[in-house]
Amino acid sequence: MKISPWQLFWMFTTLEISMSIWLTVAPTIETARQDAWISLAVAGVIGLFVTLILILVSQRHDSLTLVEFAQKLAGKWIGWLIGALYIAVWFSVSADILRIFSLFIKQYLFHDTPIWLIAFLMVAAMTYINYAGSVEAIARFSELAGPLLLAGILVTFSLNVTNLHVDLLLPVYADSGALSILKGSLVNASFLGESMMIMMLTPFIANSKKMLKPALLAICIPSLIAVVTSVMVIMTFGTNIGSTLVFPYFSMVRFINYLEFVQNMDVWIMFIWIFSVFVKLAMYLFINSYGTAQLFGVKNWRVMIGFVAAAIFAISLVPANVIGILDYATFVWIPYIFPIFIVALPLLLLLVSMARGRTLAPEGQ
């Protein structure tokens, strides 16, 4: 199971965009008002710094996954606990994304279809691609979905130009200030922190020493798109309406009406967005299945795919509404998972690895 560094780029670009412009723009506008674009630019810088740490610690143990090198760095039991906590986090994130996806599809496409059926179809698809080709198949699929997603976003940006009102972006900085801008940046910065899955993927990357540039570029592009999206949403709806929309980018796409001819762009965008969410969920299923197998010493990791998929599906059916789902990001992801699992623990593992030098294993030689 090997993927190239540029396949990694397309995977990360696709999965980072899939939720960031859908879910982070409105909370950022609510906090930073018309300076949301500055907050999202700051978030991109934070995301680059965090991803750099994750890459450095992964490259030092490039033949080992997080579950393995955590036990070598922190000892068997503490390392096992660290690995188990990360797997638990990835389980919760997977279920949350599946919930958001299912409710979104039900709300905009299939009003009378049960949520469990929509979720089941997605789980079946991501289970199949993991059984059939694992991370290699996901990487190849992302090479198709990624360019489609970027092209679709750029087309919608260009078609929405006639709806823009530049005065809605003014004044700059005067109504928010540095503290609000920094606070608003945490939302998207935490979403960009999903690059922490690189710690599970490094052993599968051919020539992992060359993955730094593609991985950082995969943070820059979604960050830039998030900045442009926030500018577009504010200039289209203003801050008062833009901050209340659950899916502001999608609402903007539905607002496109070019010469009474180009309309209903939302159907096309939703179609390619489903592909990007599929890449994201398939990747989480892979790292959850592979990591769980390593935690419990199961040699054939594919045995775990069915159990992990069933668990994610069951957890995804718990919440009742979209608002409850978004609370996960507000009350769990940003205050706890982001500072602890995305920043603190990888930094600590990097420092321990550097302190111990080359005594761990020859994989970095």
Give me the DSSP letters along 202-213. GGGBTTGGG-HH
DSSP, collapsed to helix, strand or coil, labels residue 3 as strand
**Residue 359 banded pLDDT, cuts 50, 70, 90:** very low
Percent of the chain with pLDDT over 70: 94
pLDDT at 365: 37
Instruction: List the structure tokens of 214.
Output: 């593609």
Tens-place pLDDT, residues 269-320: 888 888 899 999 999 999 999 999 999 989 899 999 999 999 999 998 886 5
Helix axes 265-295, 76-108, angle to 10 degrees: 160
Distance CA(362)–CA(124), nearest Å, equals 39
Structural contact between residues 348 and 66, judged by C-beta atoms closer than 8 angstroms: no
Instruction: List the structure tokens of 207.
Output: 């020539």
Region 103-111: mean pLDDT is: 84
Distance CA(315)–CA(288), nearest Å, equals 14
Tens-place pLDDT, residues 116-150: 999 999 999 999 999 988 899 999 999 999 999 99
Whether pTM > 0.85 for this model: the answer is yes
Residue with tokens 């970095």: 364
Residue with tokens 């798109």: 225
Task: Name the CA dihedral angle for 238, 242, 244, 247, rounded to a multiple of 10 degrees.
Answer: 160
- Beta bridge partners, 258, equal 262
Tens-place pLDDT, residues 23-60: 888 888 988 889 999 999 999 999 999 999 999 999 99
Is 24 exposed, middle or buried, given 0-12, 13-18 or 19+ CB atoms closer than 10 A? buried
Tens-place pLDDT, residues 161-191: 888 888 888 888 877 888 999 998 998 998 8
Instruction: List the structure tokens of 275.
Output: 């592909």
pLDDT at 252: 87
Instruction: List the structure tokens of 257.
Output: 């009406």
pLDDT at 77: 92
Tens-place pLDDT, residues 223-280: 999 999 999 999 999 888 888 888 888 888 887 776 666 667 777 888 888 889 999 9
Structural contact between residues 352 and 74, judged by C-beta atoms closer than 8 angstroms: yes
Tens-place pLDDT, residues 68-100: 999 988 888 999 999 999 999 999 999 989 998
**Residue 361 banded pLDDT, cuts 50, 70, 90:** very low
pLDDT at 296: 92
Is 245 exposed, middle or buried, given 0-12, 13-18 or 19+ CB atoms closer than 10 A? middle
Residue with tokens 């051919």: 206
**CA dihedral for 20, 26, 27, 29, sign (positive or negative):** positive
**Residue 363 banded pLDDT, cuts 50, 70, 90:** very low
Write the DSSP symbol of residue 297. Answer: T
